[in-house]
Structure 1
């Protein structure tokens, strides 16, 4: 239930049993599955479905995803790595990030669930592959703003774990991990010989830029597939 409204909770679009059946069949057909799951109950139901698919069809490199994962329970944290499920998360979403208000979200989640809310660091430390995205148009599409939010994230209450990412980790969430999520890590996500020439030239060295000033760094040139697609 919502902490501030006992008796109220989000209603799932699928029952756990029905979702498991869908996941088993989609996985059997070789499809990659991605499901939006906000609360801990929804996250658990999706992981249960992915686990049922692996048990029925055999383990394979499916790279199924869970989108958002805004609340999770401790027993489900290691299941991402165990099942090879990707955690797709949004640096702009945590309360307090990018001018996102704390209320009513933190009261609705409840203090006992705060430590495992928007828990990128906890998931990554447990071996999960964390992919970053914007969730545009809900939040700004600009990856620089989200990278800044990931680096500058602060706990909203004393005693909560630090869930922030280093700059390198945040960049990887938008590059290497994104390529891995779409089975294209052999041709995208890195500046490397033989890879697609998809390049962004920035106005400053972001590794030499203070975290609080990252939002001032702008693209000056973009190259897609070796072709210049934008110049400031």
Structure 2
């Protein structure tokens, strides 16, 4: 841990900074190295402790929750379990500051997890986060300008609970930023069955543009 500096006057000796004082030194100030986790307060000492920048609610810190991933990458039913081993859930405070609408309503069953960032996006940021609730879970691709302005957000994968079973959408992300999504229904035994041919979400393709927009193709 990097030391910080504390200055004080001793009752018997006077010391000055940047000087190797001996036992009989008689200079005005004296400089001590202490670590940031020092918790002892004394009347004759003044601690100078910098704020912990990593805990601030800033866009720069928000992006740090999303590590870069190597493409191609596929989001499957196992992705959430693998990501949860490396990442901690995000609080609603972070999400309301950068992703959610101010009038969004969430309950105690809603959970958010940072997943990853799309690499090689010089003009914007592209992240994927996971949202879970009592009706299922969803992976969202979300893009931001370099100064943190939300550009676009689209569902790319997830699960949802319906009366006729559990529906699952998987997604493969190509190095060219093409998001190929396929949705199917899991039967009572956990086997995947294709949804009906008239379902618009059977196959979906999204393209991430150089401006950070997410467009269907």
TM-score by length of 1: 0.26
Which is richer in strand? 2
- Larger Rg, first or second structure (1 or 2): 2
TM-score by length of 2: 0.27
Which is richer in helix? 1
